[in-house]
Amino acid sequence: MKQPVPSLDVESSPALQLAALVPESLARYRPVIVAGIDFFINHLPPRRREEIDRRWAALPAFAPVESRLFELLHGCPTLHKLGQVLARERRLPVELRRQLQRLESMPPWTPDNVICDALAIGLEGESGTDLRIAPEAIAEASVAVVVPFAWDPGSRGIEIGGVFKVLKPGIEERIEEELGIWSEVGGFLDEACERLGAPRLDYQGTIESVMDLLRAEVRLDIEQDHLRTAGKKYASLPHVIVPELLPFCTPRVTAMTRINGRKVTEAADLSSATRHQLARSITEALIVGPMLSVEDAAPFHADPHAGNLLATEDGRLGILDWSLVGHLTSAHREQMAQVLLGAVTRDATRIARAIQTLSSGPAMESVLQRIVDDSLERLPWPHVPGMKWFLDLLDAAVVRGRVRFDPNLILFRKALLMLEGVLADVDPTFDADAEIAACVLGQFAHEWPMRCFAHPASRAFGTHLSNADLAAACVSVSGATLRGWNDACIAMTRPACGS
C-alpha cells in the first residue's frame, strides 16, 4: 500500500478542519472521516490537487470551512455523490446541509465550447436538420451536462422538447482515478481503526462492493435500459412521470423528453394537499414499489436525492437520472419482511435469523441478538416498526455486529436515508411509516383470495410472507400482545396513582 504523501496546507485543507463539522451524535466517526478525506486528497494526481488548490485560493480569505468542503466535493465526482447522499441528513449542522444541498442541482460551469464539442462527438453523427439545439447547457451534475433541444420529427411544425445528457470530457478517467484511491482508503482505514479509536468496520470490503455500481454512472447505455424499464414500471402510476427516450441516443449521449418542474424540496408555496400527494408519490414509487414487487429482481432508484425528484406544474412527481439503479432480489425482500414481521410480533429470534440470512458473511450471533433486543426495547408497545427503526437496526448490525450486506442492500439503505430527509423537507407533516403500513395492508387485502389456494410455504406474494409465516406469527403474537398491552396499561395508570 502506498504511504500517504505530505498533506496539503493545514490552513486550507477542509479535511484537517472537518472535525468541527461532525455533530456530536457522530463523534466516534470523526477520526475516520477526517483521516479518510485527508488520505483521499493526498493521493489525487498532482493536477487534481492543483485544481483543488485553485478552487480554495479563489474563495475569500475568511470563507467558512463549509464553503471549502463544498469546493472539494464539487471537484471530485465520487465526493460529489457522497455530498448528495448526506445533503438531507438531519443530524448534520444546518449550514453544512445547506452547502451540500447545492450539489443536488447546479448551474453549468463547463465552458460552452467544450460542451458543444463533447455533444458533437457523443452524438456520432446521429443529429439531423430537424433538431434545434440550445447554445447553452441548463444544468451540470457530477458526471454529465444537460443541454436542451427541440425536435420536429415530421417537419410538421410540432416540436418535442427534449434534453441531451452528455458525458463530460475526461469524466471516465476521473472516476477511475478516484475509485482507485477509495479502494486504498478502505484498506488504510481498516488498518488505522485501532490507532484512531474508531469503530472497526470492513471499510475496504464495503467500498469495493459498490465500486462496480458507481462505474455505471458513466455508462449511459445502461442508463438508457434503466429508463426503458422505469417507463414501463411507472406507466400505471398517474402521479409519477419519468423521461421518455428519444432518437439520437449513443453510449455517450442520452436523448430524452424534458420534464419541466422544480426540486420537490422547493415546493413550499404549493398547497398542503399537493405537497402531501408528492410525499405519497415518493413513498409509493421509490420505497413501497420495490419492496412489494413480485419480480425476481426488483429495480429501485439508487440515487433519489432532491435534485433528481421534480414537482411538475400539474403536481406530478418527475423522477430523473436513472444511471444508478440497484436490485432487490426475492431473497432480500423475503428476509426484510421477516425482520418487520418479527418486529410487529416482538420476535427477536426471527429478526436475528433474518439479518444473519441477509449477511454475506458470518455474523457475531450473540452480539447480533443483543442488538435486536435493544432495538425492540426502543419500540414501545403498541408501536409498529417504521423506516427510522429499520435503518437504525441495519446500522447497528453493521457497526456492532460486523454484519456485511451485499452492494444492493447497501445502496437501498443509502436510498432510504436520502428519502427520509427529502420527505421531511417536502411535507414535515407527512407520516411515511403510516403510508407504508397502509400500502402493506392494501397489498394483504389484494392477495388474500389467492392465499386460499397457495402452498403453505409459498412466499410468492407482494408481502413476501407465506401462510406458514402468518400462522407462526399468530401463535407467537398472542403472548407478546398480552405482555404489551399489560405494560401499556401499567404505564397509563402510573400518573393517576401518583396524583
Q: Where in the chain is the domain with CATH 3.30.200.20?
A: 106-169+219-258
Q: Which residues of 7-36 are buried (b: 16+ CB within 10 A; e: fewer)?
A: ebeeebbbbbbbeebbeeeeeebbbbbbbb
**Residue 469: per-residue pLDDT:** 92
Q: What is the DSSP string of 286-322?
A: IIIHHHH--SSEEEEES---GGGEEEETTSPEEE---
Query: Comparing C-alpha atoms, which of 233, 327, 307, 317 is closest to residue 283?
Result: 317
Q: Give the span between the Cα atoms of 13 and 461, in whole angstroms.
A: 53
On the CB side of 18, CA atoms within 13 Å amount to 21
Give the strand pairing for 131-133 and 253-257: unpaired
Provide the grid cell at 188. Answer: 488504510
Q: Give how far Cα 190 sits from Cα of 182, 186, 287, Å.
A: 12, 6, 32
Per DSSP, the residues of 197-258 read T-----HHHHHHHHHHHHHGGG-HHHHHHHHHHHHHHTTT-TTEE-PPB-S--BTTEEEEEP
Please give the average pLDDT of every successive group of 10 residues along the chain, which has 499 residues. Answer: 39 56 72 80 90 85 79 84 80 79 82 84 73 87 90 75 91 89 78 65 61 79 95 94 94 93 89 94 96 94 93 94 93 95 91 92 84 90 84 86 86 90 94 92 92 93 94 72 57 47
| CATH domain 106-169+219-258 topology | Phosphorylase Kinase; domain 1 (3.30.200)
- C-alpha cell of residue 343: 418486529
Q: Which residue has the cell 436475528?
A: 352
pLDDT at residue number 5: 37
List CB contacts of 234: < 8 A, sequence separation 6 or more: 240, 241, 242, 285, 319
Compute, in degrees rounded to 10, the torsion defined by CA atoms 120, 126, 129, 135.
-30
Q: Which helix (H) or strand (E) holds 139?
A: strand 139-140
| Predicted pLDDT at 499 | 39
DSSP structure string for 59-72:
S-TT--HHHHHHHH
Question: DSSP string of 158-174?
Answer: --EEEEEEEEPTTHHHH
Beta bridge partners, 106, equal 140
For residue 455, give the H/E element and its range.
none
Check residue 255 and give its pLDDT.
Answer: 93
**Among candidates 477, 439, 443, 472, which has minimal Cα distance to 460?**
443
Burial class (CB in 10 A: 0-12, 13-18, 19+), 486: exposed
Task: Write the CA distances from 76 to 60, 73, 81, integer angstroms.
Answer: 21, 5, 9
The span from the CA of 111 to the CA of 451, in Å, is 60
